[in-house]
Amino acid sequence: MGTVTIGVSIAVPEPHGSLLQERRAGFGDAAAHGIPTHVTLLPPTEVEDSALPSVEAHLTEVAAAGRPFPMKLSGTGTFRPLSPVVYVRVAQGAEACTWLQKQVRDASGPVARELQFPYHPHVTVAHGIDEAAMDRAFEELSDFEAEWPCTGFALYEQGADGVWRKLREFTFGGSIVPPQAGHVKRGSLPTSQL
């Protein structure tokens, strides 16, 4: 028995996912083609491969408690100088992503962990490349927009070749409800994001 590196994320659907992946590669990010375009819910996390069934069971429960919500990407942001990242902003759906990632990393679950930085949902489009290329990514994607109904998330495993591959998708338990004002209830998806 060994360990595997897993991650949980919301995929950016086509044609937007491939477009952003190609743009990321075009900015000189060598990792671009090994990382499907996504919003992270659980960053790369090493687990015993024997723990995968309990991870999948946990994620099934998280998905069952979730509800589809509108996702919208708009414009760019950066974590520089703290971290060498340029990203596309999550303009709608950020509260729901925050709720989901908390459920995924819950202390009672099999992938409980602390984060290196406070959670901030985003779609990375440049990471660890030279500053001029980072500036170009920030400028060239500043008017990028995409929206879709988010209906679930997926579990990924990083191969020995550094490529992330989808292991399984998890679909939310409810139907899409129009956005409305509301209050966040502990353990439930914020109604403002339904």
CA–CA separation, 16 and 193 (whole Å)? 21
In the beta sheet, which residues pair with residue 25? none
Confidence band, pLDDT 50/70/90 cuts, at residue 175: low
Percent of the chain with pLDDT over 70: 89
Q: What is the mean pLDDT of residues 143-164?
A: 96
Kindly report the average pLDDT of the chain as a whole number: 90
- What pLDDT does residue 117 have? 86
Return the amino acid letter for 47.
Answer: V
Q: pLDDT at residue 183 above 80?
A: no
Confidence band, pLDDT 50/70/90 cuts, at residue 177: very low
Confidence band, pLDDT 50/70/90 cuts, at residue 178: very low
Q: pLDDT at residue 188 above 60?
A: no
Tokens of residue 146, six digits: 């995409």
Segment among 8-22, 36-50, 165-179 with least mean pLDDT? 165-179
Q: pLDDT at residue 191 above 50?
A: no
- What pLDDT does residue 1 have? 67
CA–CA separation, 17 and 41 (whole Å)? 17
Q: pLDDT at residue 189 above 70?
A: no
> Within 13 A of 37's CA, how many CA atoms are on the CB side?
21
Confidence band, pLDDT 50/70/90 cuts, at residue 157: very high
Tokens of residue 15, six digits: 């044609």
